[in-house]
Amino acid sequence: MSRVFAAYSVGGLVGPALGAIGGIRGPFAAYLLLAGIGLLAARAVSAPVKRRVFEPDRAALRLRGFWVASAGVLFAVLGLGIVEGVLPLHLATRLTQAEIGALYIGMSLVVSASAAAAGSLRPRPILVASTVLVVAGLAAAGAVTNIPIWLLALTLAGAGIGLANTGSLGILIEAVRPERIVTAMVVWSQLGIIGYLLGPLAGGGLTQSAGFAALGLAPLAAALLLLALIAAPSRGQRGGPLT
C-alpha cells in the first residue's frame, strides 16, 4: 500500500511537470500516452488467487488511530497541494517552465522513494519526522529565491511527504482490521482530498497577504494539529475509541 500511495503522489507531481513540454497540445498528448501505458499495465495484472471480502464499518470512525491517520494524510496532501498550486509562481521568478517541470519530476522520484522505503518502518515515528521535513522544506522554499536552496528544500519536502503518506496509511491499517476498513479508507482518502484543496487555498492566501516568506505557516498549522492528536493521551489501547 505504501507503494500504491507513492504512485499517487508521483502522479500529482508529474502532472504539472508535463507543462514543461510547452504549448497546449503537447502536455495533453503526453498525458494521453501515460494513461494508455497505465491501462495496458493494469490489464496485464492478474486477478488475486484468493478473493478477500471487505466490509464497511462505521465504528472505525470512532477510533483514535483513524483520526491520527486522517490528520496525517491531510497534512501530507496539503503539502503536495502547496507544492503544485502555490510554489510554481515563486519558482517562476528564477526558473523557466521546462526547468520547473524537471524539478517536479525529480521531486516525484524523491516522494516515491521515501514512501516506498518507509514501508518497513514504524508509522508513528516517521509521521512525526515528516512534519519537520515538510514544514522546514516548504518554509525554506518560500523564503528564498536561491536555486540550490530550492533544490534542497524541495528534496526535504518531498521526503517528508513520502513519509507522511506511508505513515498515515500504516496507522490506519494498524487501527482498523483490513476486512472492516472500507468506510475508514473512504473517509480517510476524502480527507486527503480536502487537504489537497486547502493547500493552494491557505498557501495562496498567505503568500498574497504576507509574501512567500509566510508559506511555511500553512503546513505548520496542519503539523501542529497532527502532533497534538499523536500526543493526546489514549484512554485505552493504542488506536482505541475516542470515547
pLDDT recorded at residue 234: 67
Q: Which tens digit of pLDDT belongs to each residue from 149-187?
A: 999 999 999 999 999 999 999 999 999 988 889 999 999
Cα separation, 162 vs 10, whole angstroms: 10
* Bigger pLDDT: 126 vs 15: 126
CA 33 to chain centre: 24
Mean pLDDT check: name the lowest of 21-25, 149-153, 212-216, 238-242. 238-242
Q: How confident is the model at residue 87 (pLDDT cuts 50, 70, 90)?
A: very high
Q: Which CATH number fits domain 2-231: 1.20.58.710, 3.40.1110.10, 1.20.1250.20, 3.40.50.720?
A: 1.20.1250.20
Q: How confident is the model at residue 144 (pLDDT cuts 50, 70, 90)?
A: very high
* Bigger pLDDT: 134 vs 234: 134
Each as own residue / partner, the long-range contacts of residues 48-57 (CB below 8 Å, 24 or more positions apart, any chain) are 52/178, 52/179, 53/179, 54/178, 54/179, 54/180, 54/181, 54/182, 55/179, 55/180, 55/182, 56/180, 56/182, 56/183, 57/176, 57/180, 57/181, 57/182, 57/183, 57/184
Cα within 13 Å of Cα(167), Cβ side: 29
For residue 197, which of 32, 84, 54 has the smallest C-alpha distance? 84
Q: What dihedral angle (degrees, nearest 10) is formed by the CA atoms of 193, 194, 195, 201?
A: 120
Domain boundaries, the chain: 2-231
Location of C-alpha cell 516522494 = 111
Q: Is the pLDDT of residue 97 over 60?
A: yes
What's the whole-number average pLDDT of the chain? 88
Cα separation, 60 vs 93, whole angstroms: 47
Percent share of the chain, pLDDT over 70: 94
Q: Are 138 and 79 in contact (CB under 8 A)?
A: yes
Reported pTM: 0.83
Greatest alpha-carbon span in the chain: 58
Cα separation, 198 vs 122, whole angstroms: 28
